[in-house]
Amino acid sequence: MGGKCPHRSVKKRRYSHKTARRTKFLIKGDDMVYDQLNKADEERQPLPVDEDLPGMGQYYCLHCDRYFSNVAVRDEHFKTKKHKRRVKQMMGPAPHTQLDAELAAGMGMPDNGPKLMSM
């Protein structure tokens, strides 16, 4: 027998500073990134220099909406699974939008709930 104690205390998850910072001003919604990517070819502009960003905002991963401090770090990032998954995701059908999120949360249109695995 065994298994986990059902009464184990619930751990409260606190955001790390990094996460909090990132969500504050770096991360855009997936739909926004997708938008950017779709118009990137025609409207590609030089990256604005921003002293507040790592590497003055010059090393940017459009797919992940992240800034890097130098080209080596960025190239390293391009090789990561996380990035590749992200690229794949952005190549595919449009990502979830705010509407989807609201639907999932039970707001807006009626929702039959998540599909359950048929037995």
Give me the residues that bind Zn ion (CB under 5 A), please.
Answer: 61, 63-64, 83
Q: Which of 44, 28, 43, 14 is nearest to 86 (CA)?
A: 28
Residues 48, 58: Cα–Cα separation, whole Å? 7
Residues 64, 30: Cα–Cα separation, whole Å? 9
Q: At what angle do helices 30-43 and 81-91 cross, to 10 degrees?
A: 80
Shortest Cβ distance from residue 30 to Zn ion (Å)? 13
Q: Of the two residues 22 and 83, which places its CB atom closer to Zn ion in the complex?
A: 83
Q: Of the two residues 23 and 102, which places its CB atom closer to Zn ion in the complex?
A: 23
Shortest Cβ distance from residue 24 to Zn ion (Å)? 19
Shortest Cβ distance from residue 108 to Zn ion (Å)? 31
26: its two tokens = 């770096």
